[in-house]
Amino acid sequence: MLRYQFMQNALLASIMASLVCGVIGVIIVERKLVMMSGGIAHTAFGGVGLGYLCGFDPMLGAIGFSVLAALGIGFVRRRNGAKSDVIIALFWSLGMALGVLFVALMPGYPPDLNSYLFGSILSVTRQDLWMMASLSVAALLSIFVYYNGWKAYLFDPQYAQVIGRPTALLEYALLVLVALCVVILIRIVGIILVIALFTAPAACAAFFSRTLEKRIALAIGFSMLFSVGGLFISYGLDCPSGTAIILVAVTSYGILWALKAISERQKLKHRVS
């Protein structure tokens, strides 16, 4: 089936998304920013609707809305962390509402938005691949060029500030990177399912290693396994690709969690005996 151009595009998109998702996902889980990434993802829907209404590429609109949401959420979080959950919920709802409103204002028949909500990796075009490649390179370079600074910020922000790391800049940069990764993943699993692909590979990697470098490498591997495996399953069963990818990811996490629990229970029994 890889003889088909759309399957080749889908496979390349899966690989690029896995690289970014593995790196950023570990950081998101480590900094407990899962729900914040969900708020940024859903805000992007407003940009998709605006793109359709104004006649430009909806993905560009998604980039603009998600980046603005990331900066706005980050500003409120630093000024008043106690109310950050409220602000995330408001951005979440506002983005979805604006997306629906913009589409409703369009003349004629409204477009089909299911591919943006639930993903449609099989419809990825060469133009989408170039955009994903550009965003992926920008995100990965931002992480690895300043890797030591990111590492200090992730594990001890107070210590990082004491030794002179720009923690405020790193926090805003992290949220912008999340926004860019959201746009990359929209075409893979969609806005609604993007949180699972951020968290499942990183959570699976945490079962096997506690060091940052190994967790990132494992998360990339798990993300590729989930994406490519879900892609082949969706092709074979003729079901939505985004749904198949997430089902594979969540099922794999459930199996690993169960095996981990059984292993710990057996170790506890040996200690007691």
pLDDT in tens, 62-112: 888 988 888 888 887 777 655 667 778 888 888 889 988 998 888 877 777
Residue-wise pLDDT tens digits, 100-120: 899 888 887 777 777 787 777
Structure pTM?
0.82
DSSP-based three-state secondary structure for 247 = helix
DSSP-based three-state secondary structure for 153 = helix
Write the CA distances from 84 to 28, 44, 87, integer angstroms: 16, 18, 5
Q: What is the pLDDT of residue 83?
A: 65
Distance in angstroms between the alpha carbons of the first and the last residue of the chain: 54
Burial of 106 by CB count in 10 Å (0-12 exposed, 13-18 middle, 19+ buried)? middle
In terms of CATH architecture, what is 5-272? Orthogonal Bundle (1.10)
Contact 220, 170 (CB under 8 A): no
Q: Which of 12-26, 68-82, 168-182 has the lowest mean pLDDT?
A: 68-82
What is the C-alpha radius of gyration for the chain, rounded to an integer number of angstroms?
19
- Which one-letter DSSP state was computed for residue 211? S
Q: What is the pLDDT of residue 222?
A: 92
How far is 198 from 200, CA to CA, in rounded Å? 6
Burial of 195 by CB count in 10 Å (0-12 exposed, 13-18 middle, 19+ buried)? buried
